[in-house]
Amino acid sequence: MASRPEVQAPPEIFYNDVEARKYTSSSRIIEIQAKLSERALELLALPDDGVPRLLLDIGCGSGLSGETLSENGHTWIGLDISPSMLDIALEREAEGDLLLSDMGQGLGLRPGVIDGAISISAVQWLCNADKSSHEPRLRLKAFFGSLYKCLARGARAVFQVYPESIAQRELILGSAMRAGFAGGVVVDFPHSSKSRKEYLVLTCGPPSVSTAVPKGKGEDGESSSEDSSGDEDNQTVSISDRHRPKKKQKLNRRGKGREWVMRKKDQMRRKGNVVPPDTKYTARKRKARF
């Protein structure tokens, strides 16, 4: 298993020319980044009046997330610590302005001018101490403090993060709250290990109706009522069956049936996997042709 980039090297060194190049050549990375930024923009909940806003893209990298912002008509300023990534952004002709800057040193922006901020997979880098002078707590404080200042009142900031552990998530969220933000974590596809994505949704200003944290996608609110007790009995039987020698297994059960297939497909959908649509052919038996 590939280890997390955060533990390999500091961001300005990890994202060297080779690593940055991947962000133009890999269509998979591009697609994922576009999806994440689209969702982040959705969570940003900008007023739907067609007026372009001035947004901030923190850890903009090669400008992939910025592209989504441009497509939606917004003007953005991106900042990143890796010069190689910014070079790629120039190559891709990113429409926003780019800054070479370290978010842990605080954002040098005038108060109250930014209409919203997004950040895709960047904030967790702040939890690392890559130099002897780095103190994650202070860097997080500087970052969130300066962000709070430069956001307009009522503006939102959405960070997609990959926290390493619960403690790390608490550290990030705690720093945000201490800086004065209201909000919380939105988890998309919480049941899936691959599609699970966490978004920190923060609102600038005192708590109000608008600061309520939106619901994650694919969240299983209702308890699965389909699991009737009869089904459970069947399942236990089949599991105990599995340990018997092949010949002695009971063969009287006629397949799993449509109901079982539908339940499994539902489960996979909740996990965020790609599942073929349900049709009249779903779980139908094949004709005996031979």
Chain contacts with other proteins (rule: CB under 8 A): 50-54, 73, 75, 77, 79, 81, 86-87, 90, 97-102, 105-110, 112-114, 131, 133, 142, 146, 150
H/E segment holding residue 197: strand 197-203
* DSSP annotation of 277: P
Pick the closer one to other proteins by CB: 17 or 233: 17
Pick the closer one to other proteins by CB: 99 or 187: 99
Pick the closer one to other proteins by CB: 154 or 257: 154
- Dump the DSSP string for 210-270: GGSPPPPTT---S--TT--HHHHHHHHHHHHHHTS-GGGS---S---HHHHHHHHHHHHHH
Shortest Å, Cβ 14 to other proteins:
16
**3-class secondary-structure state, position 37:** helix
* C-alpha to C-alpha distance for 86 and 100, rounded to whole angstroms: 8
CB atoms within 10 A of CB 93: 8
Shortest Å, Cβ 20 to other proteins:
14
Shortest Å, Cβ 69 to other proteins:
13
| CA atoms 46, 49, 50, 52: torsion sign | negative
Shortest Å, Cβ 57 to other proteins:
12
Shortest Å, Cβ 86 to other proteins:
6
Shortest Å, Cβ 152 to other proteins:
8
Shortest Å, Cβ 139 to other proteins:
9
- Dump the DSSP string for 4-31: PHHHHS-HHHHS-HHHHHHHHH-HHHHH
Residues 6 or more apart in contact with residue 241 via CB below 8 angstroms: 249, 250
Strands 114-120 and 182-188: unpaired
Backbone angles phi, psi at 179, to 5 degrees: -75, -10
* C-alpha to C-alpha distance for 277 and 287, rounded to whole angstroms: 21
Shortest Å, Cβ 99 to other proteins:
5
Q: Residue 108 is encoded by which pair of tokens?
A: 């040098």
* C-alpha to C-alpha distance for 137 and 279, rounded to whole angstroms: 53
Pick the closer one to other proteins by CB: 83 or 257: 83
